Amino acid sequence: MARKIGFYGVIAYFLYGLFFYWYLFYFADTSLAFEYEGSRADPATFLNSRELMLSEGYSKIRDLLFFLSTPFEWLFYLFIMLLGFSNAFKKWAEQSSKFKFIQISIYLIWLSFFSFIATLPLSYISYSLSKSYNISTQSFGGWMKDELIDFWINYGTMLIIVPVLYWLINKSRKRWWLYAWLISIPFTLFMMFLQPVVIDPLYNDFYPLKNKELEAKILDLADKANIPAEHVFEVNMSEKTNALNAYVNGIGSNSRIVLWDTTLNQLNENEILFIMAHEMGHYVEKHIYFGIAGYLLLSLVGLYLAARIMEQVISRWGNVFKIPAVNDIRSLPLFLMIISMLLFISSPFSNFVSRYQESRADKYAIELTKDTEAAIQTFQELTRAGRSQVNPPLLVKIFRYGHPTMLERISYLEEYEIKNRSK
């Protein structure tokens, strides 16, 4: 039975990969409708032929890697169970210590290590791709350092969550998912509070914006929007990428407005102010807090479904997967696989909500700055720097895009400009 499940798993993954290869390289049409040709949303008007070719080539390969990587994670967890690795991890942990917490930590380090090794080739391909298309400027050593930081942060997070999770399962087989969700609320808020000041600085150096004249204009914009900001931060992303970005993260007193130095180097002042106005739109419309509420609601549904699915799978195929019960640590790969699947299935919905919020932030930014020229040029430069498609395929938009497409964003600005000319 184990061989049969493994065989069908590999075949399903192979057919899935073939479908997306065919879809992205042969079926999907990224050309613009007639009414958009020649507009400022048409990439032919602001990208040269080489840039157009690079954007199309890079986007197709990057999107294929995205669609291959998540199901590969499911396949990895499936074989960890079928081949008895989860069983071996538990045996090694029990032989190393009689203390439960130490046993869990040893089990987790083995599972995390095998997961890291299994997914490293895909991560390296993604890194090499962005390097070859002149998006990544990071050295191999710098990239590997970030990968190792990811590894230890993920391991540390798991070391906090997993012992609590299995303690709850042992205490209540029927309602552990609810108690786990209740505990996740303060934990999520605490991690968001720590993110800007503890986790982010592990990857990059953050410092107050050096251009004080620009900072004064950004803070003046924030004052008009009634945002209590005292500093704007910049981060040295040029050591890693040529892409552009800016964001607001954190909650409470730890919230930060952050600009990548690539954005500062490649955009003019008006374009930067538009980006900042966009980020302020998220703050004004409380998107961070709506996002937290949405995440917590989805996690409640996800934990409930995971609990029900785990019970069904273990009762039917527990012997095949070598999992005697839900409360056994050997069920962790199954739990992680189910959560990953649920996240993938729910991503079209979460991306739809995110695109709506981003479009609202765009609307707020243009209403605040009234500078459509700077706004359009900003989106054109973002497209050029990120080798992005203006009009991505439908499935890519649904599963990958948390922002409106550049076609939608620039077209909205052109319509806004026309309406305001007529006033």
C-alpha dist (Å) from residue 310 to 9, 30, 282, 307, 318: 18, 40, 37, 5, 10
Residue 282 marked in a binding site: yes
Residue 248 pairs in a beta bridge with 257
Distance CA 361, CA 283 (A): 9
| CB-CB contact of 104 with 164 (8 Å) | no
Distance CA 325, CA 308 (A): 13
Residue 287 pairs in a beta bridge with none
Helix (H, G, I), strand (E, B) or coil at 22: helix
Residues 6+ apart with CB under 8 A from 111: 80, 86, 89, 332, 333
Residue 231 marked in a binding site: no
Residue 287 marked in a binding site: no
In whole angstroms, how large is the CA radius of gyration of the chain? 24
Distance CA 282, CA 290 (A): 10
Looking at the annotation, which residues are catalytic? Answer: 279, 362
Binding residues for Zn(2+): 278, 282, 358
Binding residues: 278, 282, 358
